[in-house]
A and B are shown apart, each in its own frame.
Chain A
Amino acid sequence: MKDFIIPQFAPGDERDMGTPARHGPPVCLTIDGVQVTVPEGTSVMRAAMMAEVQIPKLCASDNLEAFGSCRLCVVEIEGRRGTPASCTTPVAEGMVVRTQTDKIRKLRRGVMELYVSDHPLDCLTCAANGDCELQDAAGQVGLRDVRYTPGANHFDVSGQGARSQAEARLRGGHDNPLFIPKDDSNPYFTYDPSKCIVCSRCVRACEEVQGTFALTIEGRGFDSRVAVAGENFLASDCVSCGACVQACPTATLQEKSVAALGTPTRSVITTCAYCGVGCSFKAEMNGDTLVRMVPWKNGKANRGHSCVKGRFAYGYAAHKDRILSPMIRDSIDEPWREVAWDEALAFAARRMHAIQERHGRRSVGVITSSRCTNEETYLVQKLTRAVFGNNNTDTCARVCHSPTGYGLGKTFGTSAGTQDFDSVEQTDVVLIIGANPTDGHPVFASRLKKRLRAGARLIVVDPRRTDIVRSAHVEADHHLPLRPGTNVAVVSAMAHVIVTEGLMDEAYIRDRCDWDEFQHYAEFIADPRHAPEAVEALTGVPAADLRAAARLFATGGNGAIYYGLGVTEHSQGSTTVMAIANLAMLTGNIGRPGVGVNPLRGQNNVQGACDMGSFPHELPGYRHVKLPDVRAIFEAAWGVKIDPEPGLRIPNMLDAAVEGTFKGLYCQGEDILQSDPDTHHVAAGLKAMECVIVHDLFLNETANYAHVFLPGSSFLEKDGTFTNAERRINRVRRVMAPRNGYEDWEVTQMLANALLKETGRAGWHYTHPSQIMDEIAATTPSFAGVSYERLEELGSVQWPCNEAAPQGTPLMHVDGFQAGRGHFMITEYVATDERTGPRFPLLLTTGRILSQYNVGAQTRRTENSIWHDQDVLEIHPHDAEVRGVNEGDWVRLASRAGETTLRAVLTDRVSPGVVYTTFHHPMTQANVVTTDFSDWATNCPEYKVTAVQVSPSNGPSDWQRDYQAQAERSRRVLSAAE
């Protein structure tokens, strides 16, 4: 039995049960005359709540272990002395509990009186008015009077005179030495110590839920207050996840938005639109104003937790940069003209039609967005297949997880992760390869860290010492800091150790995998050239460490592999994915809770975008477009002939554009100029096109090369579904009307209809996204059981969801692989063509940071920029010294593809010979530097390995200056009147 608790609730039940759920044999007891049966280990408080008996409480919450500090939840238990706290007292068979006696009432009032004697009574002007547990508890215990005369307190500024010089010096400037002014350094919430009741809920939430350990109780006794290490919250270790704010029963930790906008009056459950964790949130509203986003405790991906992006960084949706009217222009040198929707759509349709007339059916295409809903993505690929009549559709998954689709498809038979996130709670050994969960997937990272603190072991394969390698109370058993680009060699060497030392799970392999293929693979991998000692010089990973890590993974119990773009964005991305799958099969780690192969998806709907047939060779459900029976399904549904030839991938579209054979593009919700590799080439491709339609919230960098701009709607403004990294289909619900007038699927439908009108064909007539989902379900077997009704009923569902699995499929490959038998693939290491040399001696690898998201179009337009206002270059002090680079210097970062400048940060997080940066800011344009090398199987760009040189610089590069000027020119807008 793992000591890890998943709160279990009936769907829709949002009551706080006080303490976490337990699992155990039933225990029967009586509370206030009510008989109740609960699992052994349950607290008396929780048992009472289950029996609908409310016990007043302040320090207890069911996402935290019981603490027993507020003394408000005392009860009487027959045959026991005193009045124990119900939160810390476990139930026992036959126990008789009384929660409402005269004695208890008196005690509770006495305790409450003490709390209130040191709390400002400014309820009517307090931001938590109506949403305050202290207020509720005072009402519940019937507090009518506070008998204490005014004395020492924490809230009266003019207060009591210094009790000590030290104290007076510490508090500084105020007459009341106990008064500490409000800390409003964090952009999203305030800390007001004068309202603190020292229940420790925030401290425990930071430790138990988030795992950051940024808060503490400073001092002791009456002096104690919540504190951070550092000058204020902003300067502390706080990552602004919001867990403390949510845990606070008073207004001590309070969202600034609630203080500004008032207490919310209604709420809508929806899904976060940032990373692939897919957290469920309650959007709390006042009319059509979003007051705050609060993680929903019944959300199955996040279990009530959040990160700084989902919780707070939604301000972009109301940012002044948002474009709300359609715009067109004849050429990209002209300023934009705001026009009516009809005119913009007709202009776009005319141009696209003309291009097809002149250059052929296949001269145009679309790019679907992993940020938009499944329904919207489905419509965009339908648009190219059914309206343009070709398969030129691709998606940003091309540049992130396309190798996952390929690699897992080849080995297991399904292009998706095998587990749900809950699975991590039963893991014994976690292997993280090329992922930085604390920055990229923070809510999953918190759940992972909780399991690690409870005893699971950790192996991290990453060129950088990421936070998960070592941070408060978490430390990897093995960190293998490989040279970028040598993933295949490292993972294969681990397999080599397992095979040659006989650590594989032979029974599992014989039972579930293709035995002949395995023998062939075993012979290949056992070759001495794959030994850790043989590849050490190449990978930079000490052989002894690698052997120890491999042994731990093979013998440490349930082994789970989590990986990210550090695996896929390589010339051998697909090979590494297959090597990972081999490793999981070798050790029997597929098909039950606690194990599996788990790609951490970068974007909210990258799984969904892939599922929905965004790829040029696949119709929805990963079925090849060459298959006549698959085409027949869609031909019947859409009433058109589908092109049997696979279309162009994004890089091919750009190549073809430069060559002059690809002329028109409809790009929804993706900024390919900033996010795709080799920016010069992308710019050249876009420039060569005759009609680029950008459909987005903002005039993004790609829009600098566009002729039509269609304003998009934010995730708050539309209905639909997102599919997260665990294949979970979550509902996105419209909480306000689209500011641009239309939900994105409506815009795509209007564009399709304008195009269809141009060629005299019948239009589309969807009136709600649920109809699009019905069409998906009708045409795609793995979604056959999905409908909006089903989603309302279950909350969310993991595909496959069909007749065989009407409740969905939390774990894949339970009774054998989807592919029939698991396939071991040969994974020969082939060095990338990108090599270091005298001119470019360093290896650049790229990644993300917690507060910013991808190209930053959204997060840069929120207060999150306070944490990360520019991209910086991490460089090892040795490499910096020989180049004369100091901390904070401007440096020039140059590769064969291009150069940019940014500031340097000296750190030993990176090994000598490796430098690292992020790609969140358009001014840096890190992708000017990255090359056009890509994965051999899927063309996923090799972002993670670029040979570079770093040298001191004194300002922006020529490209940065030229680009800035071009972008400014291109963003000019003439208003409709002119």
Chain B
Amino acid sequence: MRDPAPANLAAATPSAEDIRQIVAPLTALEGPLLPMLHAIQAEWGHVPQAAVPVLADLLNLGRAEVLGVISFYHDFRDHPAGRQVLKICRAEACQAMGGTGVAAETLARLGVDWHGTTPDGAVTVEPVYCLGLCACGPAAMLDGRLLGRVDADRLLAETGAGA
């Protein structure tokens, strides 16, 4: 799982030509669709709707097939996220360590629901189902950096949203 800092957040939606350029080096791969989607998200922070027809045409797939693949993976987003992405684990081990309460408090203090972004665009909060960090639950991940034994205070501090 990776969620690299998007390089191109400032720019608006990429054009079809932009997308073609990003994926051009990947056309020779076997099963190139997923690597292409990763490349687009890495560059733009999300996979825009405009990518669907471009990839379908390039790989000679149905547009629906491309949509099906994108929507299957929760990590592909169709609009840009906040400047930081906070993922809070909701799987069993973290729940047993009070993760549900940590999540609820964090969401409440940030004033967002799951998948929501704070009004200032600083943080997007997403659920994740197991980070493999069960021994250090409740666990979370901020922009790809793992955090163990978290509580709401720490999460807010890490995101710079303060107390």
Task: State the 5 A-B residue pairs at the shortest beta-carbon distance, nearest first.
Answer: A213-B62, A216-B68, A229-B63, A166-B115, A216-B64
Q: Hey, what's the 0/1 contact readout for A220-261 against B, CB within 8 Å counting as 1?
A: 100000011110000011000000000000000000000000
Cβ A472 vs Cβ B61 within 8 A: yes
Chain A residues near B14 (CB-CB < 8 A): none
Q: From A225, which residue of chain B is reached at the shortest CB distance?
A: B71
Bound-state CA distance A475–B57 (Å) is: 12
A237 and B62 contact, Cβ closer than 8 Å, known pairs A219-B72, A229-B67: yes
Chain B residues near A472 (CB-CB < 8 A): 56, 60-62, 65
Bound-state CA distance A220–B115 (Å) is: 16
Please give the distance in Å from A186's CB to the nearest CB on chain B: 15
B91 adjacent to chain A (CB < 8 Å): no
Cβ A164 vs Cβ B115 within 8 A: yes
Please give the distance in Å from A241's CB to the nearest CB on chain B: 14
Most buried by A among B63, B68, B72: B68
B112 adjacent to chain A (CB < 8 Å): yes
A212 adjacent to chain B (CB < 8 Å): yes
Q: Hey, what's the 0/1 contact readout for B44-64 against A, CB within 8 Å counting as 1?
A: 000000001100100011111
Q: From A216, which residue of chain B is reached at the shortest CB distance?
A: B68
* Contact residue among A162, A207, A214 (Cβ-Cβ distance under 8 Å from B113): A162
Cβ A216 vs Cβ B67 within 8 A: yes
Please give the distance in Å from A185's CB to the nearest CB on chain B: 15
* Contact residue among B60, B62, B114 (Cβ-Cβ distance under 8 Å from A164): B114
A473 adjacent to chain B (CB < 8 Å): yes
Please give the distance in Å from A858's CB to the nearest CB on chain B: 30
B116 adjacent to chain A (CB < 8 Å): yes
Interchain Cβ contacts under 8 Å between A and B, 15 examples: A162-B113, A164-B116, A168-B113, A216-B65, A216-B68, A220-B71, A227-B71, A228-B64, A229-B52, A229-B56, A229-B66, A229-B67, A236-B64, A237-B64, A472-B65
Bound-state CA distance A227–B70 (Å) is: 12
Chain A residues near B61 (CB-CB < 8 A): 213, 472-473
Q: Hey, what's the 0/1 contact readout for B99-117 against A, CB within 8 Å counting as 1?
A: 0000000000000111110
Chain A residues near B116 (CB-CB < 8 A): 164-166
* Contact residue among B52, B60, B64, B114 (Cβ-Cβ distance under 8 Å from A473): B60
**Which chain A residues have a beta carbon within 8 Å of chain B's beta carbons?**
162-168, 207, 212-220, 227-230, 236-237, 470-475
Chain A residues near B68 (CB-CB < 8 A): 216-218, 227
How many inter-chain contacts with C-beta < 8 Å in the A-B complex? 71
A230 and B113 contact, Cβ closer than 8 Å, known pairs A217-B68, A219-B71: no
Q: From B114, which residue of chain A is reached at the shortest CB distance?
A: A164
A167 and B115 contact, Cβ closer than 8 Å, known pairs A218-B71, A219-B71, A229-B52: yes
Query: Interface majority SS on B: helix, strand, loop or mixed?
Result: helix
Bound-state CA distance A230–B66 (Å) is: 12
Chain B residues near A168 (CB-CB < 8 A): 113
Chain B residues near A217 (CB-CB < 8 A): 68
Bound-state CA distance A212–B63 (Å) is: 10
Chain B residues near A207 (CB-CB < 8 A): 62
* Contact residue among B64, B112, B113, B115 (Cβ-Cβ distance under 8 Å from A229): B64
Cβ B114 vs Cβ A163 within 8 A: yes
Chain B residues near A229 (CB-CB < 8 A): 52-53, 56, 62-64, 66-67
Q: From A211, which residue of chain B is reached at the shortest CB distance?
A: B62
Most buried by B among A165, A166, A236, A473: A166
Chain A residues near B72 (CB-CB < 8 A): 219-220
Bound-state CA distance A356–B65 (Å) is: 66
Bound-state CA distance A810–B66 (Å) is: 41
Bound-state CA distance A216–B74 (Å) is: 16
Most buried by B among A212, A473, A474: A473
Please give the distance in Å from A856's CB to the nearest CB on chain B: 29
Bound-state CA distance A737–B30 (Å) is: 59
A237 and B63 contact, Cβ closer than 8 Å, known pairs A218-B68, A220-B72, A472-B56: yes
A227 and B60 contact, Cβ closer than 8 Å, known pairs A162-B113, A165-B115: no
Bound-state CA distance A219–B69 (Å) is: 8
Bound-state CA distance A470–B61 (Å) is: 10
Please give the distance in Å from A217's CB to the nearest CB on chain B: 6
Chain B residues near A470 (CB-CB < 8 A): 60
A218 and B62 contact, Cβ closer than 8 Å, known pairs A163-B114, A165-B112, A165-B114: no
Chain A residues near B60 (CB-CB < 8 A): 470-475
Chain B residues near A163 (CB-CB < 8 A): 114
Please give the distance in Å from B59's CB to the nearest CB on chain A: 9
Chain B residues near A230 (CB-CB < 8 A): 63
Q: From B63, which residue of chain A is reached at the shortest CB distance?
A: A229
Chain A residues near B112 (CB-CB < 8 A): 165
Cβ A227 vs Cβ B115 within 8 A: no
